[in-house]
Amino acid sequence: AQRVTQPEKLLSVFKGAPVELKCNYSYSGSPELFWYVQYSRQRLQLLLRHISRESIKGFTADLNKGETSFHLKKPFAQEEDSAMYYCALSDYGNQFYFGTGTSLTVIP
Amino acid sequence: DAGVIQSPRHEVTEMGQEVTLRCKPISGHNSLFWYRQTMMRGLELLIYFNNNVPIDDSGMPEDRFSAKMPNASFSTLKIQPSEPRDSAVYFCASSLGGTYNSPLHFGNGTRLTVT
């Protein structure tokens, strides 16, 4: 079975502090992992995909197959980062499994 | 590309009325998904299609809900009769199924309020 776990429902950090949103997965094949962000009352938007190994809005995420994790990190949180973040796993674009999301609040 | 297009953006209706939500996926995408989002339950997958064929509708809450995809560029989600507990934001999303690392693209959602 494919599963995505985001253990933190809520996360608060101060502006300028580092932030890490955790994501663990279980998957029997080669995982395709994504992070999505949802700002208040907006649609889910793709933030990162593991294969791109890019940094978007200062966020990075590294796939750790040994720990089956894909944690999202940013060294210095900004107020505009306050949003809901979802980790998702895909099965060749045919199915998507979302975690329950982490609501990030950056305190000024 | 205009992205995934959903209509209407907002719908307010009375209990018992029929509601139809519409979705146009990104051109060329062959997988289409309908999600429901509420504060209580979070993001729930209702149904998804691949090449216009429903593959998994196990998330459809009950017989009052139905979804169709008559062609590659259009899908509907219908609720008949609607109930107040159906109030939620309904998202449509599409992807290039069968392609490694193809992300899901979401529409702006339809905010449904049933009074």
Q: Are A73 and A20 in contact (CB under 8 A)?
A: yes
For residue A85, is pLDDT > 90? yes
Which of B74, B27, B104 minimizes the C-alpha distance to A98?
Answer: B104
Residue A47, min C-alpha distance to chain B (Å): 10
Please give the average per-residue pLDDT across B69-92, as a whole number.
Answer: 97
Q: Name the residue of chain B whose CA is nearest to A33's CA.
A: B101
Question: Of all residues in chain A, what percent carry a pLDDT higher than 70?
Answer: 98
Query: pLDDT averaged over chain A?
Result: 92
Residue B49: list chain A partners with CB under 8 A. Answer: none
Predicted confidence at residue A2, as pLDDT, reads: 60
Across the interface, whether the CB atoms of A93 and B43 are under 8 A apart is answered no
Across the interface, whether the CB atoms of B95 and A95 are under 8 A apart is answered no
How many angstroms separate the CA atoms of B66 and B60, rounded? 8
Residues A51-73: tens digit of each pLDDT: 877 888 999 998 998 999 999 99
Please give the average per-residue pLDDT across B15-29, as a whole number.
Answer: 97
DSSP line for B77-104: EEESS--GGG-EEEEEEEE-TTSTTPPP
Which of A35, A42, A63, A94 would best serve as a mutation to test chain B binding (most B beta carbons within 10 A)?
A94
| Beta-carbon-side half-sphere exposure of residue B60 (alpha carbons within 13 Å) | 19
**What is the band of B102 on the pLDDT scale with cuts at 50, 70, 90?**
confident
**What is the band of B58 on the pLDDT scale with cuts at 50, 70, 90?**
very high
Residue B42: list chain A partners with CB under 8 A. Answer: 100-101
Q: Name the residue of chain A whose CA is nearest to B47's CA.
A: A95
How many angstroms separate the CA atoms of B113 and B99, rounded? 36
